[in-house]
Amino acid sequence: MSEIDALKSEIRAFADARDWEIFHTPKNLSMAVSGEAGELVSEFQWLTPEESMKERLSAEKLKDIKMEIADVALYLFRLADVLDVDLAEVMREKMKINETRF
């Protein structure tokens, strides 16, 4: 089992233990990804490009950013699991497409 599959399984077990399946529809999960992505963006709001660099971030700010990245990833992995999407496969596929475009 890949690390991605293991994480998807852990996230599924977490949701199952709380009976969240009814709420974890593709629509709701995609909206949750969007909402969490907005929270990630808000961590950088009003920072200059230079201030947003890792070396310039405080330890607390970097921790907050990491937690928002995790939130985005958790919902994205859950969405991929619900839709039975192989993340590694589709990411590699998309990178190949991008190689021809850029």
Per-residue pLDDT at 18: 97
Q: Which two tokens stand for residue 70?
A: 């995790």
CA angle 23, 30, 6 (to 5 degrees): 80
Per-residue pLDDT at 57: 98
61: phi then psi, degrees, rounded to nearest 5: -65, -40
In whole numbers, what is the pLDDT of the chain averaged over residues?
97
The CA R_g of the chain, rounded to the nearest whole Å, is 16
At residue 1 the predicted structure's pLDDT band, cuts being 50, 70 and 90, is confident
Query: What's the rounded Cα separation, in Å, for the pair 80 and 26?
Result: 9
Q: How many domains does the chain have?
A: 1
Q: Which domain holds residue 16?
A: 3-101
Per-residue pLDDT at 28: 98
pLDDT tens digit string along 45-95? 999 999 999 999 999 999 999 999 999 999 999 999 999 999 999 999 999
| CATH code at position 67 | 1.10.287.1080
